[in-house]
Amino acid sequence: MSITQNIVQKGDVVIATAGKEKNQIFVVIEKDEKYCYLVDGKRLKIVKPKKKSLKHVQRASKTPFPMERLSGQEKDNAEIRKFLKERSDYVKTRCH
């Protein structure tokens, strides 16, 4: 098990390190042994998250998304977009 697999948890803000989503930020809404499920509130919504290998993501922020704010409704995507937008400048300067 790699270090990344131990660090990435549900609610974390991560940056994709491979694939067509490379250098984009996401919120992890679910995680299992090998994969995490990513959303950005725009293209990747809560109803259809992106399955991504844990070795292809990197934790990008110490402040996790407050998962208790999710209600299972469409407005959750707007909450995630707003949260990621607030952190995008910090993540871009820190990770690039």
pLDDT score of 90: 58
pLDDT score of 17: 94
pLDDT score of 66: 86
Q: How many CB atoms lie within 10 A of CB 39?
A: 24
Q: Which residue has the tokens 């990197």?
A: 58
pLDDT score of 2: 47
Q: In the chain, which stretches have pLDDT less than 70?
A: 1-6, 89-96
pLDDT score of 6: 54
pLDDT score of 37: 96
* Domain limits, the chain: 3-95
pLDDT score of 94: 57
CATH ID of 3-95, from 3.40.190.10, 2.30.30.30, 3.40.50.720, 3.40.50.150: 2.30.30.30
pLDDT score of 28: 95
